[in-house]
Structures are given as C-alpha cells and as structure tokens.
Amino acid sequence: MPHTPGSSDPMTPFQRLMRRRRFLIHKKLQYQLLLGTLWHVVLILVIAVAILFVPLMVQLATNDPNSDAALRAANHLLYLHGRFWPTLVLVAVFIGLDALRTSHRIAGPLLRFSRALEVVREGRIPKTIVLREGDFLLEECARINEAIELAEARSLEREEAQAALLASTETVRELLLDAPNTLTNEQKAALEDLIVRAEGIDRRGERAA
C-alpha cells in the first residue's frame, strides 16, 4: 500500500516484511542481490575463521599436548567453538532478512517502472508512479513522473487542437453548402480534401487516446 503523508503505521520494517505474500517481486534482480550478500557473508566467515581459529589450531599442533600453551589454546578453541557458530547463524539470518528488505526497496520501484513502460508500449499514458516509504530510486521516479505529466499536457494540447480543427472543418463544410457557386472547382476540391484530412487526423487522435 502506498504511504500517505500523516498516516500512522505502527508496524516495524520486519513486521511489514513478514506480512508480504510475495517475498520476491523481481526474482532475477533479488536473487542476484541475495547471492551477492551471501558471497560477502561467506568471505567474512572465511576471514573470521582464519583470524580466530587458525592461530589456536597452530598452537595446538606445534606445542606439546600436555603443555600450558596447548591447554590454553584448547580452552580458547572450545570457547570460540561454542560461541562463534550460534552467533554466526544469528548474524547470517539478520543479514539475509535485511538484504531481502533492501532488495524490495529496489525491486519495488523497478517493477512499477516496468508496468508504466508496458502502458506506454500499448500507446497509452500511464498514471504517475507512487513509491512506498523507504523505497529507493526516488530521483528516477520523479523524472519519470515529470515525463508522464509532460505527456499528459501534450495529449491535452493535442485534443484541444483537434477540437479546434474539427470546428474549422465544420465551418468549411458549411461554406461548401452555403456558397457552392462562389467557389471554383479547384477551391471546392481543395476544401473537400482539407475536410478529409482533418477527419483522418481526428480519427488517429482518437485511436491514440
């Protein structure tokens, strides 16, 4: 639902995310974003394991198993093993949900832009695009809306010009009926051709509207 100024929405971003019926609205884009996030999580995991676990494992391998250094390294390793992996799971879940929420802020506007372009392809003028609170691509949306408003203004000008052209056509038609003897055949043919062209322009304008 579009956000309206002054409306109260007590739900948190996470609650709004879980309320969605469709978690992926632009699958190709969102899969790419989520895979990119997963790659960074894996990279951070490898670096963290290398920094935290490898030195302790080296100490265990290079010291006498009964030495104090090996005992301290083993205790540290067990402590990290008990704390690190649950923390990693929680962080991964949080990052995944946040990445999904962020992807919606990009995919949502892109989906609306795509729908507007479909309307344009059908030869119609789309409605102005309304984004939700927190969506990205606000500047792009504003530019598209400016183009839509300009197209609407030009369409209105075209309709007014067509109306004026039809009025002039009726005047010419009346002239042909009221004063047929005062015009030469060439003038009559030119005026009749003008009427036909004007009516053709009007029909094309109606089909484009």
Residue pair 41/95 in contact (Cβ under 8 Å)? The answer is: yes
Residues 6 or more apart whose CB falls under 8 angstroms from that of 174 comprise none
Residue pair 120/147 in contact (Cβ under 8 Å)? The answer is: no
pLDDT at 5 over 60: no
Q: What percent of the chain has pLDDT over 70?
A: 69
pLDDT at 118: 92
Burial of 25 (0-12, 13-18, 19+ CB in 10 A): middle
Mean pLDDT on 54-59: 87
Query: pLDDT of 127-181, one tens digit each?
Result: 999 998 889 999 999 999 999 999 888 888 878 777 777 777 777 666 666 666 6
What is the CB neighbour count within 10 angstroms for residue 207? Answer: 7
Q: Maximum CA pair distance of the chain?
A: 126
pLDDT winner (highest mean) among 44-48, 95-99, 145-149:
145-149
State the DSSP code for 132. P
Which residue type is seen at 58?
V
